[in-house]
Amino acid sequence: MTMRRSSVILGAFLLAISGAGAAAQEAGAVAGCDGLPTAGQLRDLLQAAAVPANPALSAGLRQGPGGVGGLFNGTRMWAAAVNRDARLCAFATSTGDPSQVWPGSQQIAKAKAYTANAFSLDFAEGGFPLSTAQLYTFVQPGHSLYGLNQSNPFEPEFLAPPGGPGGGRGDVAGGIITFGGGVALYQNRRIVGGLGVSGDTACTDHEIAKRVRDLAHLNPNGRPLVDDITYSTADGASAFTHPLCPNTYRNGVFVGNELPATGY
């Protein structure tokens, strides 16, 4: 064997070892994430959540003929899960080709997971979950939490190329998002983290997020709708109200459409 050939083989071997190590690190468990979905489980849950009338869902969550509405009926989604320390446990897309999900939704999903975890408390201590949809009105100008969105900026270095390595697993990415798609995760009345979903309208993001949580058996105290999205057109105005989106469905029922722009 020539010296040149030996060097090529050695180089290929070292590259393979390096690549295997990187893959193992990416696939390895993150401390404190026990009981939360892995990346592979998130992908399966996203796909199952978009299936109409999925019998594995709680009765109140099973979709009607309209599915979950929105632009893509919840089929092109990013999802991310964080633990109670807000460390990023896993993230994934619902599609085999991550480039066919909006790249900008990766950051939004991670920030929604952070937000839902950051503003929810244990049921056991008299607290309650706050979905990101319920925060929408509070942060509008003239309301009590105006400016909240600037309180914990997202760390952009924790973004990964779609389907690529890195992405901040095990780190606290931060970010505050105050529209639909983020829900807190619970086990035995205790909050254990947050789930963020993005890739469609904010209303459809919420529909998929609560279905993923239900399928993962991580509902707040067994109540999948306790932090559900509300709309002033259907439920009356309140501080927790979220605006309608294009082609809005809630729990299988068509609610309405976002109003057209006027005055500009």
pLDDT, tens only, 55-97:
999 988 877 777 899 999 999 999 999 999 999 999 999 999 9
Per the structure, how many domains does the chain have?
2
CATH number at residue 61: 3.30.450.150
* 133 lies in the same domain as 251: yes
* Per-residue model confidence (pLDDT) at position 150: 92
Same domain, 10 and 137: no
Output the six-digit token pair for 49.
């959540």
Q: How confident is the model at residue 190 (pLDDT cuts 50, 70, 90)?
A: very high
- 218-224's contacts with Cβ under 8 Å and 24+ in sequence apart are 218/36, 218/185, 218/186, 218/187, 218/192, 219/58, 219/186, 220/123, 220/128, 220/129, 220/184, 220/186, 220/189, 220/191, 221/123, 221/186, 221/189, 224/58, 224/60, 224/61
In single-letter form, the type of residue at position 112 comes to K
**pLDDT exceeding 70 applies to what percent of the chain?**
89
22 with 79, same domain: the answer is no
Note whether 245 and 127 are same-domain residues.
yes
Convert the pLDDT of each residue in 94-152 to its tens digit. 999 999 999 999 999 999 999 999 999 998 778 899 999 999 999 999 999 999 999 99
Task: Give the domain range for residue 9.
Answer: 1-30
The whole-number average pLDDT for the span 229-257 is 94
* 261 found inside a domain: no
In a domain, 87, yes or no: yes
108 with 95, same domain: the answer is yes
- DSSP letters, 206-239, are HHHHHHHHHHTT--GGG-TTTT----HHHH---T
Convert the pLDDT of each residue in 7-36 to its tens digit: 433 344 333 333 333 333 345 678 899 999
Structure tokens at 26: 């990416």
Query: Are 19 and 82 in the same domain?
Result: no
Indicate if the pLDDT at residue 4 is higher than 70: no
* Statement to judge: residues 39 and 15 lie in one domain: no
